[in-house]
Chain A
């Protein structure tokens, strides 16, 4: 086999893989979105339970977006990007949890 057909086969295989990646991502995201809206529409979850269930579904969907749309995986070459995502997640957690904690405390003291 000459090298040119080999490389065009590789290109074709990769086109297929990458198109499939976006399609899988779209379907998974659609399913997760439908479940989340369905649970609220049909009033299956309410209150704190809703926060836990919907929060989990959102987390899964974020991972789906990162994996299939942004192509972040656990491969070695993605370690830097993944590290930044994890570090940012830590900062986000500190900001969100800290703010909510402080404001809740303030609110309780004003009651």
Chain B
């Protein structure tokens, strides 16, 4: 059985909160348009990276020399798990009246996201320390830091946003505006994981495979 009145991407609130559900589709469709245009930004960075990683090595290291697949794998798992836990945060918001359950899932998501960013910063540190791979070393490295850095900034913004919404849940309660904000943050978070699928495939895996 599918959700009877699915009006927008992500979890719909129809069965438990019709009032919020009625207001959701408009704001979420607007946010969806923002997400699509954000993807266009990432496409431009991917395209630059694709050209630079093969033609812009200069005298610097190649992708296969600097990338650590083990670390990329851990980052992939962290972000995937955080997408999953955010799903359960939204379900807690939809089906339970307990703030603690929602905040617990939200906190777990934020911790996984922060661990992801920490691993990525550690990657940068190792690349610079052991391979002397600075952003200004070559076109490839400029494009690499720009693409993964833009993604990491998005994830960090998502974590900040999560903290702000957690405070709102504690002070305002789980009311309609807070619910709709959480629904939009969930879409943002899931979309970042989709962008990461592109990054681990075309940057890390393809970089090491060639």
Residues on A close to B: CB < 8 A? 7, 10-11, 13-15, 17-19, 22, 25-26, 29-30, 33, 36-37, 40-41, 43, 45-47, 50-51, 54-55, 57-58, 61-62, 65-66, 69-73, 75, 77-78, 80-81, 84-85, 87-88, 91-92, 95-96, 98-100, 103-104, 107
In contact, B44 and A99 (Cβ under 8 angstroms): yes
Q: Which of B1-37 contact A (CB under 8 A)?
A: 1-3, 5-12, 15-16, 29, 32-33, 36
Measured between beta carbons, the chain A residues less than 8 angstroms from B201 are: 36, 54-55, 57-58
Q: Which of B28-73 contact A (CB under 8 A)?
A: 29, 32-33, 36, 39-40, 43-44, 46-48, 50-51, 55, 69, 73
In contact, B43 and A78 (Cβ under 8 angstroms): no
In contact, A22 and B32 (Cβ under 8 angstroms): no
In contact, B51 and A84 (Cβ under 8 angstroms): no
In contact, B83 and A65 (Cβ under 8 angstroms): yes
Measured between beta carbons, the chain B residues less than 8 angstroms from A54 are: 201-202, 205-206, 209
In contact, B69 and A37 (Cβ under 8 angstroms): yes
- 9 further A-B contacts with Cβ under 8 Å, apart from A15-B95, A69-B83, A103-B51, are A18-B3, A22-B91, A26-B81, A33-B73, A50-B205, A54-B205, A54-B206, A62-B197, A72-B9
Chain A residue nearest to B198 in the complex (CB): A58
In contact, B197 and A58 (Cβ under 8 angstroms): yes
Chain B residue nearest to A65 in the complex (CB): B194
A29, A75, A80, A100: which contacts B47 (Cβ < 8 A)? A100
Chain B residue nearest to A78 in the complex (CB): B6
- A9 CB, min distance to chain B CBs, angstroms: 11
In contact, A84 and B15 (Cβ under 8 angstroms): no
Complex Cα spacing A80 to B47, Å: 27
In contact, A95 and B95 (Cβ under 8 angstroms): no
In contact, A69 and B190 (Cβ under 8 angstroms): yes
Q: What's the interface size class on B, roughly?
A: 35 or more
A15, A30, A98, A99: which contacts B91 (Cβ < 8 A)? A15
In contact, B193 and A33 (Cβ under 8 angstroms): no
In contact, A26 and B3 (Cβ under 8 angstroms): no
Q: Indicate if B76 sits at the interface (CB-CB under 8 A).
A: yes
Chain B residue nearest to A110 in the complex (CB): B55
- A43 CB, min distance to chain B CBs, angstroms: 8
Q: Known interface pairs A15-B91, A46-B210. Does A95 touch B43 (Cβ–Cβ under 8 Å)?
A: yes
In contact, A77 and B210 (Cβ under 8 angstroms): no
Measured between beta carbons, the chain A residues less than 8 angstroms from B125 are: none
- A48 CB, min distance to chain B CBs, angstroms: 9
In contact, B6 and A37 (Cβ under 8 angstroms): no
Chain B residue nearest to A95 in the complex (CB): B43
In contact, B43 and A65 (Cβ under 8 angstroms): no
A33, A41, A95, A96: which contacts B80 (Cβ < 8 A)? A33
In contact, B209 and A91 (Cβ under 8 angstroms): no
Complex Cα spacing A77 to B10, Å: 13
In contact, B88 and A22 (Cβ under 8 angstroms): yes
